[in-house]
A and B are shown apart, each in its own frame.
Chain A
């Protein structure tokens, strides 16, 4: 995750080594984190918070598809989308499409994105999230249930800003598991 400080070529190699040693995350951690994201999405919030709250499930799918693409895939994203459709009382399949697209871009870009640190990943994450939300808007408009308002896109912005925090948090979970091996 953190490497390639352009000014310090000496640290680059070391950072790469630490990354190589990051063990693949356990299935339980992946599914627990997805469950936690669903829980956060389920929390009842008020108007401003509702508009600003990022879609944590989308963020979590992005994270795992960038860092553990072998263990994830479009199938999981599709199922998560269906669950989110039930939660949001939207048309079945609406979130599923958006999540599948997000996952697809994560899978396509994951080698490139892993070269950057979390802060430099923000723009890419922002674009992918905005794309997902645009797909949600489009399907909603086609189905006739939406009247889009632009301020809702702020949810993607806050989501992208939450990204480094998420990477740090999940990274620390995964690092604790390998610390004993290093000693």
Chain B
């Protein structure tokens, strides 16, 4: 290197530089999994590329607006349809009101803490990562709108996931189908409590470590049990689609599909105060009568 003329001199050799940067990347990777400092860096970069994100999304939002414009022509039909629907649902609403007041009365009798009403924020899915492995989505609302890590994200059908990283104007949501993600649930039919976790592939969920004699059937609906305090009770999570009893294994292999449109919807709801909600120690679910319980394995 020293004998070469100045014209060709370009500093240390590419191999040396490669070593330097690879070592730097590895140390960053280690630091990322160990400390919070890197997530600060990530937040800064995330804030800087936010305008780019908006720009990249622009053609899609324009197309959506165009669709909306076309859809406006069909509004009259839709209004008529909705009016009929409204009348129908009105009936259900009155029933619900009666049930709510009755429920409140019973709760008061029981001395149970009144469940706090959830505040929600409507957010739009801004971006699905390139990487099909990572079960994460980016929403267009961030810490400026009161979003905090740990808040639950739902759509009209059920649970989608949980906010895991917050930027000023955007936030990242880990979907329930993520491999390392678990949700405390109960089987709707017999209120058997367990934990469902993401299978990490094919947008599936799986119930691990349920013994072979557990009372579970295909088609069973899983709803959140409210245990742990993160999820409010009663949100639908998934439906059991496949049960495999293998004699050689101790546990049954149970596959579920999520109820919510985990990667189908544009709009989702973020439950604002679910993370800060006090953990109700006297959750009525925990001493609800447990019917049809035939198993010795209670899960959680």
Contact = CB atoms under 8 A, between A and B. Distances in A.
B133 A93 contact: no
A101 B21 CA distance: 9
A94 B29 contact: yes
Nearest to B39: A92
Contacts, number: 133
Contact of B25 (A51, A86, A96): A96
B46 interface: yes
A57 to B, nearest CB: 10
Given A38-B52, A86-B45, A92-B28, A147 B201 contact: yes
B25 A44 contact: no
A97 interface: yes
A93 B26 contact: yes
A130 B38 CA distance: 28
Interface of A: 35, 38-45, 47, 50-51, 53, 55, 70, 73-75, 77-78, 81-83, 85-94, 96-97, 100-101, 104, 107-108, 139-140, 143-149, 152
A92 B138 CA distance: 17
B113 interface: no
B32 interface: yes
B267 to A, nearest CB: 14
Given A146-B133, A147-B133, A86 B201 contact: no
B18 A143 contact: no
A55 B130 contact: yes
Contact of A108 (B14, B52, B56): B14
A159 to B, nearest CB: 12
Interface string B161-173: 0000100000010
B25 A50 contact: no
A39 B55 contact: yes
Interface in B197-229: 200-201
Nearest to B133: A146
Instruction: Determine the main DSSP class of A at the interface with B.
Output: helix
B76 interface: no
9 contacts: A38-B52, A42-B49, A85-B42, A91-B32, A94-B29, A96-B28, A97-B29, A101-B22, A145-B134
B26 A74 contact: no
A82 B133 contact: no
A31 B165 CA distance: 29
A87 B137 CA distance: 11
Interface in B1-35: 10, 14-15, 17-18, 20-22, 24-29, 31-33
B131 A89 contact: yes
A143 B14 contact: no
Given A44-B127, A92-B42, A107-B14, A78 B133 contact: no
A127 B42 CA distance: 30
B129 interface: yes
Interface string B28-70: 1101110000100110011001001101110110000000000
Contact of B134 (A75, A88, A108): A88
B126 interface: yes
Contacts of B33: 91, 143
Contacts of B130: 41, 50, 53, 55, 87-88
Interface string B83-106: 000000000000000000000000
